[in-house]
Structure 1
């Protein structure tokens, strides 16, 4: 079952790419395998048509504009079919000489105006130029009586413009993801660099100086040690001398007078 589904999907992708090349691509609907109640593709190979999914990462406001453009392009270029040839109201209106061609270009400009409601940017200006070029080509081809209307049904300028709009929005999403990934990689590199510097700089304290100091002291250079104040016994009294404490110079006591 999985092999059958994969084969069908690959065949559908190939057909869609070929249809897009020859102007038969439907940006509003897509054909998918029909499934049973368990969600598995049916063995008879039946298909069903569903609305084409929009990239969920596209901003909601831009996605809404894209949906409107695709829906209008479908009505103007692909709403009807005769003998396998899909066409829409654009081809029917274009049959009317002169007035039909001007009405067709007016509706195409309305689709372009709707598409220009997406978020501004340099790519939107390029998209406007591409859309205008498609509309001009469609108008020039439609001026040819009868054959021009048939060629117009195959050219589908509104469908081309809808596909160009969706491609631009998807490219924006890819560019944003690439920028975020690059920013994430830069943050990780900064964290790694800071952690590396920390590990190199935060070395354990060295005890060589203290060891050398102790070694020098053992070689005859004793350190000066503060000794406690001594007491001296001085004569006097009936049964002996009285004990008298030496002055504590560090505490600020004045020195004792010399004994007589």
Structure 2
């Protein structure tokens, strides 16, 4: 467990250095995406950053919460005169001493929320987050200049990017089933404490799962509708035959179910 966490920590910090991300000015909660129409980019819009696939619902929920709080506390407002962003953390920090301690408690609560991920945070990563808020507290004690430096340092945003990098590498390890050391290339199996059941995985917001289209059942051949005969096409009704004798002299009974006698039979009997 400790070996896997150390490797994930190393990969997360290496990812931040490789991407050269500006962890105190890049928005951790929203991203700018292009809107394409007729094959061309017509405009850009801001939308919530997606959560890495493979994380548990708990980890995904914590990452969204940390991103959102860091954005509100550090970048929720924009100065109309100078154009830089600031948040509630800078507003509260304007109060002498009391505001700085309140800002520190808010930042520490954010770290406590981040440490609730499955398996906890690596010690080095946790120490780096705590160091960020200590620097922010020390800078805030300087009158005026410290408040301006606090707006630019943005400890909450830095900590949100640290958590993002760690959970991104964790999600990759969960998908691959092993943690690969970036130095020697060795792999360590993901411990049971970090594994996520398939039913507990988070479903990414805003992405609709592909629907399986079932082929339509073939309709059985329908019998052609019977043609209604016109009145002129109907055959004439059969005329009932009278009892008697036919041309060959044989006796015919006529309609079935009725017994009829030919009067010539009586004459024959009398004769």
TM range (shorter): 0.5 to 0.7
> Is residue 62–residue 118 contact of structure 1 (8 Å, CA) maintained in 2?
yes
- For residues 141-180 of structure 1, the aligned pairs below 5 Å read 141-180=139-178
- Give the TM-score, by structure 2 length: 0.55
Q: Runs ≥4 in structure 1, deviation > 6 angstroms?
A: none
CA distance, structure 2, for counterparts of residue 23 and residue 180 of structure 1: 31
How far is 1:126 from its partner? Answer: 2.3
How far is 1:23 from its partner? Answer: 1.6
CA deviations on 1:229-256 (whole Å, 9 max, x unpaired) are: xxxxxxxxxxxxxxxxxxxxxxxxxxxx
CA distance, structure 1, for counterparts of residue 179 and residue 46 of structure 2: 36
Give the corresponding residue for 2:104.
Answer: 105
How far is 1:34 from its partner? Answer: 2.4
How far is 1:112 from its partner? Answer: 0.7
Structure with more relative contact order (C-alpha pairs < 8 Å, separation 6 or more): 2
- Give the TM-score, by structure 1 length: 0.57
CA deviations on 1:50-83 (whole Å, 9 max, x unpaired) are: 1111112222210101111111101100101112
Number of aligned pairs?
A: 161
Structure 2 unaligned blocks of 5 or more: 1-18, 181-271
How far is 1:84 from its partner? Answer: 2.0
> Is residue 53–residue 171 contact of structure 2 (8 Å, CA) maintained in 1?
no
CA distance, structure 1, for counterparts of residue 133 and residue 172 of structure 2: 28
Structure 1 unaligned blocks of 5 or more: 1-16, 183-260
CA deviations on 1:123-182 (whole Å, 9 max, x unpaired) are: 532221111000101111111111111111111100111110111111112333444599
RMSD (Å) for aligned C-alpha atoms: 2.3
When you count helix as a share of all residues, which structure comes out higher?
1
Cα pair distance change 1:139/1:175, threshold 3 Å: same
